[in-house]
Amino acid sequence: MAKEENDQKAQKDQQMVFGIRAVQEAINAGKEIEKVMIKKGLQGPLFQNFLDLVREHNVPFQFVPIEKLNRVTRQNHQGVIAMISPVTYQDAEQLIPTLFEDGKEPFILVLDHITDVRNFGAIARTAECAGVDAIIIPDTGAAAVTSDAMKTSAGALHTIPVCRVRSLISTIEFLQMSGIKIVAATEKGAVDYDKANYRGPIALVMGAEDKGVNPKILAAAEIKSKIPIMGEIESLNVSVAAGILMYEIVKVRMN
């Protein structure tokens, strides 16, 4: 129940656009759409044209019961609500080559379906301080860039490029083909976090709070780093673990 109330608050804190035509205009105007919620059962030529536009622009969308839309707003939403993102997402396949062209050794952070907006914001804050060049997130099933995330990041999400991608697995393959080494954080890792080779271009992957890093990404990673746990609790909070690993990479790079 608490999670649902938090989700509703996050949605209300975002800028919203209601109605098919209004959302169409926002998409055509180049607004960065976080996601579109559509009432289940909507039909007709106008709706079909709208759905085609959403798909053409790769806007994340989901079909939801009318009750969910009514909980988000009492405005006349006509069965469609769009959440406008407060940031402009970057294209990872354009950004990475640019980093190399600028003479950098890219330091990328990949967040594999982290769902808590405060964890997301806290990680982004640390990432900005650690000199991370970009954060990559999936376009569905993960925390959105809401006002809560922005607040927790202390403005870092306005500063650090965020790339939203359809497939993290395909993006990992692209990073590897670009010469970037994949480091996955996992309690099942073969090497302690302070003994791994973090030199060169790096992409650090942090997994979801409950499931960790996707097994396919884990299998593809060149380095699987673990943080030793001395107590009885089995794992660290993901934002704490991310901070430890990011600054270990910073330490190696500074030396």
Q: Which tens digit of pLDDT belongs to each residue from 2-35? A: 444 444 444 444 588 989 999 999 899 888 888 8
By CB atoms closer than 10 A (0-12, 13-18, 19+), residue 254 is: exposed
CA distance 242 to 132: 12
Domains of the chain: 10-84 (3.30.1330.30), 92-254 (3.40.1280.10)
Proportion of the chain in helix, strand, coil states, percent, rounded to 5: 45, 20, 35
- Tell me the mean pLDDT in the region 79-85: 90
Whether the Cβ atoms of residue 33 and residue 27 lie closer than 8 Å to each other: yes
Alpha-helical runs (H) found in the chain: 2-13, 20-28, 45-56, 66-72, 92-101, 117-129, 147-152, 156-159, 168-177, 215-220, 238-254
Predicted structure pTM score: 0.81
First-residue to last-residue Cα distance in the chain? 48
CA distance 94 to 171: 12
pLDDT score for 148: 82
Whether the Cβ atoms of residue 47 and residue 74 lie closer than 8 Å to each other: no
The tokens of 224 are what? 């699987």
Collapsing DSSP to helix, strand or coil, 182 comes out as strand
CA distance 194 to 38: 47
Q: How far is CA 76 from the centre of its chain?
A: 30
Q: Which tens digit of pLDDT belongs to each residue from 194-203? A: 999 999 999 9
Percent of the chain with pLDDT over 90: 62
